[in-house]
Structure 1
Amino acid sequence: MSTEPEGTEEAPEQEADGAGGGEAGTAESAGGGAGNSVSEEPGADAGEGGDAAGTDAEGAEKARLSEAEAELAAQRIERERIARRKAEKQGPVASGAKLSGKAADLLAAVRAVESGEKPVAAVFSEPEAPRRPAQEPVRPRPVPVEAPGVGGSVGVPAPEAVETVRSVLAEGGAPENLAAQVAAALGEGADDRLRADPWQLLRVTGVRPEQADGFARALLGAQCAPDDERRGRAVTVWLLEQAALAGHTVLEMPALVAALVQRGVPDADAAVQSTIAEAEALVFQDALDPAAPEPAEDDEEGAERPVRILVGLERYALAEESLADGLARLTNSVPKEDGSAEDWERAAASAEGSAAELIRAAAAEGLVLHTGGEASLTEPAALLVAARGLGLRSWAATHSPLGRDRFGALLATDDSARQVTTVAGLLSGAEGPGRDADGAFDLDLLVVLDAPQLDVETAALLVESLPDGARLVLGGDPAVLWSAGPGRVFADLLGARICPQVASRKPDPGPLGELVSGIGIGELNQVEAPGKEVVIVPVRDAGEAVHRTVQLVADSVPRAIGVPAEETQVITPGHGGAAGTRVLNAALKERLNPGPGRFGGFDPGDRVVHSPAPGRTLPGQVVKADADGLHLMCSGEPVVVPKERVEQSVRHGWALTAHQAVGGRWPAAVVVLPGDAAQALSRPWVYTAFGRAERHLSVVHGAEQALPRAVAEIPAKPRTTRLPVLLGAQTPTPG
């Protein structure tokens, strides 16, 4: 059975192998961009890289955590934290047992509402308990390199466990190459668990319900039935996982029940209740209007506050609650007094425009939001320089290594240039200031850039890791694509208005800045581009789109614009299809770095992207391959990908999706819009893709009127989250 997930890039890449969704192209330039076409005559191949000599530093590398190992360590810390919080919850639910306490009351309320016995408002008449405004965080402890379990074997199942699972898969007719993934997903006794409940196969990424059904029929025979309670629970959890891939932290009960019916679950309501009773999901009731006052005791029943019933996976629910508590701690506490008020005011007075506002806000508040485009990065840079001048231990964190290097360049004349890290590196301890004895970051001010890319789990871990009295500034462009993981943290915070918000008044310059700024407000304007900053290349079909893209990257842009092929990034809506990343990368490799692909399809000099964890993309280049795996150079750092992980986590990188490219910028970008990309296009997608270019943007355009329609009419797809309600329980701060 094929286990590659389907869909387009709107459900962002959760693994390097990615969600498919290809797009091809047909013809005609429609409204946007100006200008003169780049010269298209054939040119010589612009090879990218050649054979890069690898430095053998294995001994040194073993003394420090690798990227993947550090990521696994951070994930283990997060799981331990969630387990501690779960143990604190009142009325624990044993597997297979009935709910008790408030959880049982809530489940009974859900059943009463769905059966029509009582209206929604009546069954939730009990006032909600007030939220604690500033709970002491459960911070992760520092993880030493030599700690047990932190090593190459982390998360790797034992060979004997894989073999026992392989035999069960073979018996059920499932692909045996899933054995390692099943063993890792189900843990100890995976073979017995799989035999007792074949639908546990849905725990493996990429497996779909119909495939798990076939596996169950082969194992259970006549005992396999659509109304099997095990199937209902497994499909419910699978749907919640799919919702998380699409960005939701919870689903509304009616939407979940309808999706279960579509998947052939006869009693969808019973399936949800069984999943909740087995503690595989949590149920919530949230007020539809959090600002509405609680009804008085003598009010009529019909006047009670309406609520909505939500169901979600525990990990995301607890992350949102933890994040809300941590944000309350920041907003309700007084920042550490580093520097006098006069010193902060002098620093602000020496800055310009919005930078001065940002410095004043950070001086007075524990949490500040900053919005703006690429040009606005100079403002958090000014804040970091000012804070370091006042003696604060100040750090910045970005979404990607490209963003880290770009922001560090703004601080090149100051020691602060060395105080920039990636969010993943900061959390894992591979980069940044490290943690103190209490498990908190050893810093006073943290500026997180690319904040729209924070999912709820990452944001919760960041906030919980801040020491008391620290300041947090979250900055980013709210118009770009949201996080690959579930949640819309930055947008929810902007809407909640619980802290000061500083909007940059510094526009991005030039024709590219004018074009992208217009897209941000829903207008695809034609701009003057005397220096060929923006070029539209019409195409009739997918084959022509691929041909023109290769011609642009290898010949026209280097010759006419002066940007070499290795500094030009191709961006397309999806991985699959006649003009997706797979086809484009194959064509670009053939032109720029031809070779037999001896190392799992890769050759030295190939441009690649490595995804050590879902939602993370590290651009790099292949150096060599040996018994240890595929050797890459990513942002100046050597990375070794074990050979069993290469197929899952490494792709060619001449062409990326917009989600993979977010957080990075290149001197030139070629955005490919094939004809069948119309359904994948939206205003945030176009804004993000077009905004990756610094000097030159070529648009290989076959989407006809779908492009201006997407910019004008298709905003970001909504995501269902609980964070606005949780934040609404806090006291708003004006400004």
Structure 2
Amino acid sequence: MSTEPETTEDTGPGTPGIPEGPDTSEARDTTGTPDTAGTPDALNAPDSPAAPERDAAAGGDPEGGGEPAGAEAPGEGDGAAGDTGTAGGEGSGDRSEAEAELAAQRLERERIERRKAEKKAPIESGTKLSGSAADLLAAVRAVESGAKPLATVFAEPAPAPRRQAPEPVRRPQQPVPAVVPSGPAPEAVESVRRVLARGGAPEALAPQVAAALGEAAGDALQEDPWQLLRIGGVRPEQADGFARALLGADCGPDDERRGRALTVWLLEQAASAGHTALELPALTAALAQRAVPDPDAAVQSTLAEGEALAFQDALEEPGAPAPRQEEDGEEEERPVRVLVGLERYALAEESLADGLARLVNSPGEAAGPWEALAAGVTGGAAELARAVAGHGLVLHTGGEAARAEPAALLGAARAAGLRAFAVCHTPDGRRRLGVLPGGGDDASPASSTGTVAGVLAGAEGPGRDADGALDLDLLIVLDAPQLDVENAAMLVESLRDGARLVLSGDPAVLWSAGAGRVFADLLAARACPQIASRTPDPGPLGELVSGVGVGELNQVEAPGKEVVIVPVRDAGEAVHRTVQLVADSVPRAFGVPPEQTVVITPGHGGAAGTRALNSALKERLNPGPGRFGGFDPGDRVAYSPAPGRTVPGRVVTADADGLHLECAGAPMVVPRERVEQRVRHGWALTAHQAVGGRWPAAVVVLPGDAAQALSRPWVYTAFGRAERHLSVVHGVDQALPKAVAETAAKPRTTRLQTLLRAQVPAAG
């Protein structure tokens, strides 16, 4: 992101429950502590029991129906004035002054006698009370007299029936943290804990195992110890040791349960690397490396149990001749490849292919608003608009500057009366789109932009029609290379018949963190129009990144020091120079504060990975004991609400509910038990974590042990995160230009091209 998420100091989260008025400021001042939103005390202020007292002190009844405490009872003090007025009125006409005086004295004596009589009667306390105070006094007296039991008197009254209100119009809104479902039953967790203890496994895994295996998790794990591999981070050798401890002599490498568990584990690992399936020979070879005696039998057993699916896809090359007819009339057999994949990814890819084919094959009538769409834009945006007017699916490619074209399309579509909406991969992508002409204001209630996650969760977007489809004529998806098959399938399934879909993005950046390579497969399939932007990214940074995209690491002219190379000899020096750049050099030379500079490195581990860099940067920029599970208020963090999604944020505080963060200007609470898995320090990120965002300055760290991890897409993505300045902490010598020139993206095994070609005859 180009800027650190907004602080809460202006919004004042410590004051929402305090009514406006002079008494409220006095209430805050009496604490002796400034009402600073960044402190834990301020954050806890809304829950303070003193808030009702402050409301009462301001002169109002907390329930809204009482009178001020100092008001007099009705009639008190009014009688004298009234009587005197009457006497004065009588004396002003027929009576003499003496007679009037006597009449006034008589009335005064009568009034005194009445007051004496009232004093002789028992005094009833509370007669001047009204509203909630009077109700409270009556309740206390009812309890003291025994007329009502305590529980019934002080029970919450049933709320009055509300008047039925019309359904409000759905408006895009800021994403809210999803409600975390309750964990597994304590009995199931305890049962799993006992089994883990017998097998020598960490008992801390019990909640995860219970959540993965269900209510009978303890029995299931006892019966099949290799089910432990379903838990992320557990290695096969660890599962084998656990099984030996539980089964003893009955445990062996040829156990059918072990073969099935390893097959599923390998497919899960492949999905983490981006594959939606594995070719059968590759899968059996990997099983053989794991000491499975009969890999083919293990695969067949997994298929028979329904834990994986097998597919036969014809091997077709674009432009290949049609199959020849044999003499007996049968068609020549084509070579096929046998693939094995997990059901969730197989079904998602097939659903995605069906939905895309529906869009491609739908008649694109360029009539009405679609016909006039291109009239409101010029240049590349006009070409894009003409393609959208006549086709259900359009691909658009280009760099950061090319985002202006789908932004202009969005504005023109809305101006033409079409229901159009655009989504990005990250909140920062949404921010950058919102400031472009036509992109809309993302702070507006009627915003036309959102994020993929927000729309799929229902927290953003235009809402859905009666059939459950997005109420849209046009959906524009930016950062399309980051779409995995599952999210892409859900988006496409949400489009109604006749709607248009534009997928826009930079094909040179890293692919999605999840399974699949949707955008690359669609570009290769050539099943729909493809519009390539001719708008280059400007300046020395744009020239450098554009060269990397075509395999050239050029030396660019940077008169304003937009690009700086910092050579280092080892990882220790790389960490030292990185901290110096972020804390001192970049702020001094370019005026970019540390919170607006991102550090990017190839991996989490190693002497100059994200862990080492974040530790050094925290010590310099926000030192502290890490009292909230390793975090302190003010720490920059990377929050991962789901695999493949990273949202930069800042630690605010922590309490019994969990770790309180501020991400993209919105508050978020991470439950305590999920902090370790979902929150990392975020001064330094990997390129996959940083994709989709941009910062004023970026420091890319390339230590000597990172040479094997470099590739052209990685370098392109890392260098492209900088808007104004890029520093490269260089310790890989010639490995950098070699990676840019020779190392392309790692291939992924997917089925989308094959599935789409079978349903779209015009493909290719």
The reply to whether TM is greater than 0.5 is yes
Any conservation in 1 of the 2:434–2:440 contact (CA below 8 Å)?
A: no
- Counterpart of 1:501 (choices 521, 524, 530) is 530
1:728 counterpart SS class:
helix
CA shift, 1:212, in A, is 0.5
1:476 is aligned to: 505
Matched, 1:163 2:190: yes
Structure 1 residue identity aligned to 2:732? A
Superimposed CA distance per residue, residues 21-57 of structure 1 (whole angstroms, 9 cap, x where no aligned partner): xxxxxxxxxxxxxxxxxxxxxxxxxxxx975886569
TM-score scaled to structure 1, two decimals?
0.78
2:603 counterpart SS class:
coil
* Residues 553 and 299 (structure 1), Cα distance of their counterparts in 2 relative to 1, 3 Å cut: farther
1:277 is aligned to: 304
CA shift, 1:412, in A, is 7.4
Matched, 1:371 2:400: no
Matched, 1:388 2:414: yes
4+ residue segments displaced more than 4 Å: 49-59, 150-153, 299-303, 335-338, 411-417, 732-735
1:132 is aligned to: none
- Counterpart of 1:613 (choices 628, 642, 656) is 642
Partners of 2:256 and 2:281 lie apart in 1 by 20
1:729 counterpart SS class:
helix
Partners of 1:475 and 1:251 lie apart in 2 by 28
1:614-693 equivalence runs, <5 A: 614-693=643-722
Superimposed CA distance per residue, residues 688-728 of structure 1 (whole angstroms, 9 cap, x where no aligned partner): 00000000000000011110010000000000001110011
Partners of 2:39 and 2:310 lie apart in 1 by 55
1:261-660 equivalence runs, <5 A: 261-289=288-316, 293-296=322-325, 298=327, 303-335=332-364, 339-340=368-369, 342-347=371-376, 350-352=377-379, 354-411=380-437, 414=440, 418-660=447-689
Structure 2 residue identity aligned to 1:202? L
- Counterpart of 1:222 (choices 249, 258, 270) is 249
1:624 counterpart SS class:
strand
Partners of 2:684 and 2:425 lie apart in 1 by 19
Unmatched 5+ residue regions in structure 1? 1-48, 60-142, 144-149
1:234 is aligned to: 261
2:759 counterpart SS class:
coil
Structure 1 residue identity aligned to 2:352? L
Is 445-454 or 426-435 further displaced after alignment? 426-435
Matched, 1:712 2:738: no
Any conservation in 2 of the 1:156–1:184 contact (CA below 8 Å)?
A: yes
Partners of 2:584 and 2:701 lie apart in 1 by 17
Any conservation in 2 of the 1:456–1:488 contact (CA below 8 Å)?
A: yes
Superimposed CA distance per residue, residues 364-413 of structure 1 (whole angstroms, 9 cap, x where no aligned partner): 11110000000000000000000001111111111111111111121478
Higher RCO, 1 vs 2 (CA within 8 Å, ≥6 residues apart): 1
TM-score scaled to structure 2, two decimals?
0.75
* Residues 342 and 237 (structure 1), Cα distance of their counterparts in 2 relative to 1, 3 Å cut: closer
CA shift, 1:442, in A, is 1.6
1:694-705 equivalence runs, <5 A: 694-705=723-734
Superimposed CA distance per residue, residues 78-115 of structure 1 (whole angstroms, 9 cap, x where no aligned partner): xxxxxxxxxxxxxxxxxxxxxxxxxxxxxxxxxxxxxx
1:570 counterpart SS class:
strand
Partners of 2:573 and 2:39 lie apart in 1 by 31
1:14 is aligned to: none
2:659 counterpart SS class:
strand
CA shift, 1:437, in A, is 2.1
1:177 is aligned to: 204
* Residues 701 and 640 (structure 1), Cα distance of their counterparts in 2 relative to 1, 3 Å cut: same
* Residues 52 and 228 (structure 1), Cα distance of their counterparts in 2 relative to 1, 3 Å cut: same
CA shift, 1:524, in A, is 0.2
Structure 1 residue identity aligned to 2:730? H
Any conservation in 2 of the 1:396–1:419 contact (CA below 8 Å)?
A: yes
Greater C-alpha radius of gyration: 2
Any conservation in 2 of the 1:500–1:733 contact (CA below 8 Å)?
A: no
Partners of 2:518 and 2:459 lie apart in 1 by 24
Among the aligned pairs, what percent are the same residue? 76
Unmatched 5+ residue regions in structure 2? 1-36, 48-169, 171-176
* Residues 475 and 532 (structure 1), Cα distance of their counterparts in 2 relative to 1, 3 Å cut: same
Partners of 1:654 and 1:151 lie apart in 2 by 25
Any conservation in 2 of the 1:53–1:623 contact (CA below 8 Å)?
A: no
Is 441-450 or 506-515 further displaced after alignment? 441-450
* Residues 412 and 384 (structure 1), Cα distance of their counterparts in 2 relative to 1, 3 Å cut: closer
1:236 counterpart SS class:
helix
CA shift, 1:510, in A, is 0.3
Superimposed CA distance per residue, residues 462-511 of structure 1 (whole angstroms, 9 cap, x where no aligned partner): 00011111111000000000000011100000000111100000000000
2:649 counterpart SS class:
strand
Partners of 1:264 and 1:371 lie apart in 2 by 46
Q: Report the count of equivalent residues.
A: 595
* Residues 704 and 302 (structure 1), Cα distance of their counterparts in 2 relative to 1, 3 Å cut: farther
* Residues 287 and 215 (structure 1), Cα distance of their counterparts in 2 relative to 1, 3 Å cut: same
1:309 counterpart SS class:
strand
1:18 is aligned to: none
Structure 1 residue identity aligned to 2:434? G
Partners of 1:153 and 1:523 lie apart in 2 by 47
Structure 2 residue identity aligned to 1:293? A
Any conservation in 2 of the 1:292–1:305 contact (CA below 8 Å)?
A: no
